[in-house]
Chain A
Amino acid sequence: MEAWMTPWLLLAVPFAGALLSTFAWANPRELKTGLLLTTAASFLTVIGTALAIGRLPSGMALLCLLPVAAFAALLGQPLHRDNRQAWLMTVLLLGIGLATVSASNSSRSLWLSLLLIFLLSLLARSRHGSVPSPTWGLATYGAGAVAALVNAFAPAPLSAWAGLLVSLILIPLFPLQAGHVACLTRLPGSLPAFLMLVLPGAGVTLLLTVLPSIQEPARDAIGGWALVSMVYGSIRALAQPRPLPLLAHASLAFFSIFWWYVAVSGILSSQAALFLSAVGLTTGGLYLGWYAVRARHGDLDLRAIGGLVQSMPRFAGLFSLLALAALGFPPFGVFSGFMGMVLHPDWKLPGSFAVVALAWLAASWYFLDLMQRLLFGKSRTDLRYEDVRETESAALALLLVLLAVLGVMPSKWFDAGATAAPVPPSPESSAWNR
Chain B
Amino acid sequence: MEPLKKSPDLDVRRMELRGTIRLASEVIGQYWPMRTFVHHNPLHSLEYLPFDETVQRGRQYLGGAGYLSGEQYRDYLRSGRIQLHHLDEALTPLALRQSITLGPCRISHHEVLRACLTHGLSAPIDEPLDALLDQGPGEEQVETIAEHLSLWTAPTLQDRLTATLQKDRAVLGRYLTLSGWCDQTLGTQIGAQINAELIKWCEAFLDEGHATWPMPGREAGFYAAWKALAAREWSPCGIADSRRKIAALPDHPEDAVLGSLEALGIPESLRLDYLSLQLAALPGWAGFIKWRAETTGYAWQEAYEAGLVKFLAVRLWYVRELVQQTCRDRLGIDGHYQSVSGYMQQRPYEYFLRKERVAGRLPPLYAEQADRLVEAGGTEQAWSQLADRYQAEVGPLHDRAARRSMARRLVALTQALEIVPTALLETAPADLRQLVDWMETFPESLHGPIWLRSFEASYQDQLLGMVVRAAAKPERRAYEAGPPVRPHSQSVYCLDVRSEPFRRHLESTGANETYGFAGFFAVFIKYRAWGKEHETEQFPVIMRAKNEVREIPRSYLDHFVSKHQSRAKLVHAGHTLLHDLKENVVTPYVMVESLGWFYSFPLIVKTVLPVWYRRVTGWLRRLFVPPIATSVTVDKLPPSETEEMIAAEQRALIWKALRDRFGLHGSRVEQEFVEALRRRALDQDAPVEPFLSEAARAVDLSDEQLSGFIEDLRRAYRINPRAASRQKERITRAGFTLEEQVVTVETALRMMGLTGNFARLVVFCAHGSTSDNNPFESALDCGACGGNQGNPNARVLAAMANKPPVRERLVKRGIEIPSDTHFLAGQIDTTTDEVTLFDLEDVPPTHRKDIARLVADFREAARLTSQERCARFPDGNRLLPAEQAAAHVRERSADWSQVRPEWGLSGNTAFIIGRRALTKGLNLGGRVFLHSYDYREDPTDRLLEVLLTGPQLVAQWINMEHYFSTVDNEVYGAGSKIYHNVVGRLGIMSGPWSDLRLGLAWQTVMNGTAPYHEPMRLLTVVEAPRARLDKLIARHELLQHFYQNEWVHLVALEPADGKLYRYLPTKDWRPVERAHSDGPASRAERS
Contacts and interface: CB of A to CB of B under 8 A. Distances in A.
Contacts of A294: 132
A25 to B, nearest CB: 16
A82 B393 contact: no
B123 A381 contact: yes
B133 A295 contact: yes
B364 interface: yes
Closest 6 CB pairs of A and B: A301-B360, A304-B360, A129-B393, A303-B360, A79-B134, A298-B128
Interface residues of B, number: 28
Interface string A100-127: 0000000000000000000000000000
Given A129-B389, A242-B364, A303 B132 contact: no
A296 B860 CA distance: 59
Contacts of A380: 126
B365 A128 contact: yes
8 contacts: A128-B365, A129-B392, A295-B133, A299-B364, A303-B360, A304-B360, A381-B123, A383-B125
A31 to B, nearest CB: 12
A298 B365 contact: no
Given A131-B366, A295-B131, 11 more contacts: A79-B134, A80-B134, A83-B132, A129-B365, A129-B389, A131-B365, A131-B368, A189-B132, A296-B131, A298-B131, A301-B361
Contacts of B131: 295-298
Contact of B128 (A79, A297, A381): A297
Contacts of B134: 28, 78-80
Interface string A283-310: 0000000000011111111111100000
A298 B129 contact: yes
B235 interface: no
Nearest to B124: A382
Given A28-B134, A301-B367, A303-B358, A382 B126 contact: yes
Interface string A61-101: 00000000000000000111011000000000000000000
B401 to A, nearest CB: 9
A317 interface: no
Contacts of A130: 389, 392-393
A244 B364 contact: yes
A384 interface: yes
Given A131-B369, A295-B133, A296-B133, A382 B123 contact: yes
A291 B365 CA distance: 17
Contacts of A295: 131-133
B574 interface: no
Dominant SS among interface residues on chain B: loop
Interface string B369-403: 10000000000000000000100111000000000
B84 to A, nearest CB: 24
B250 to A, nearest CB: 39
B130 interface: yes
A241 interface: yes
Contacts of A304: 359-361
Nearest to A389: B133
A185 interface: yes
Interface string B333-371: 000000000000000000000000011111111111100
Interface string B664-681: 000000000000000000
Contact of B133 (A80, A189, A383): A80
Nearest to A378: B970
Interface in A373-410: 380-384, 386
Contacts of B363: 298-299
A28 B126 CA distance: 26
B361 A82 contact: no
A303 B356 CA distance: 11
Interface residues of A, number: 33
A301 B125 CA distance: 18
A189 B369 CA distance: 23
A384 B132 contact: no
A82 B360 contact: no
B824 to A, nearest CB: 53
Contact of A383 (B126, B130, B364, B394): B126
A228 B368 CA distance: 24
B132 A242 contact: no
Contacts of B360: 241, 300-305
Interface of B: 69, 123-126, 128-134, 358-369, 389, 392-394
A384 B133 contact: no
Interface in A404-433: none
A12 to B, nearest CB: 31
Nearest to A296: B133
Contacts of B130: 298-299
Interface in A304-348: 304-305
A211 B69 CA distance: 63
Contact of A185 (B69, B125, B362, B364): B364
Contacts of B394: 129
B981 to A, nearest CB: 20
Contacts of B369: 131
A309 to B, nearest CB: 12
A108 to B, nearest CB: 35
A384 B364 contact: no
A208 B365 CA distance: 37
Which of A79, A129, A380 has most B Cβ within 10 Å?
A: A129
Nearest to A241: B360
Contacts of A129: 365, 389, 392-394
Contacts of A296: 128, 131, 133
Contacts of A82: 132
Contact of B359 (A83, A244, A303, A381): A303
Nearest to A305: B360
Nearest to A301: B360
A303 to B, nearest CB: 4
Contacts of B126: 297, 380, 382-383
A381 to B, nearest CB: 6
Contacts of A298: 128-131, 363
A7 to B, nearest CB: 33
Contacts of B368: 131
Nearest to B360: A301
Contacts of A80: 132-134
B59 to A, nearest CB: 15
A131 B390 CA distance: 10
A90 to B, nearest CB: 15
B364 A78 contact: no
B125 A384 contact: yes
Nearest to A392: B133
Contacts of A242: 364, 367
A185 B123 CA distance: 32
Contacts of B123: 381-382
Contacts of B133: 78, 80, 295-296, 386
A131 B389 CA distance: 9
Nearest to B397: A298
Contacts of A185: 364
Contacts of A303: 358-360
Contacts of A305: 360
A32 to B, nearest CB: 10
Contacts of A299: 130, 363-364
A298 B404 CA distance: 15
Contacts of A28: 134
B187 to A, nearest CB: 8
B803 to A, nearest CB: 61
Nearest to A86: B132
Nearest to A302: B360
A80 B133 CA distance: 6
Contacts of A381: 69, 123
Nearest to B388: A130
Nearest to B70: A381
Interface in A121-147: 128-131
A88 B130 CA distance: 20
B404 to A, nearest CB: 11
Contacts of A189: 132
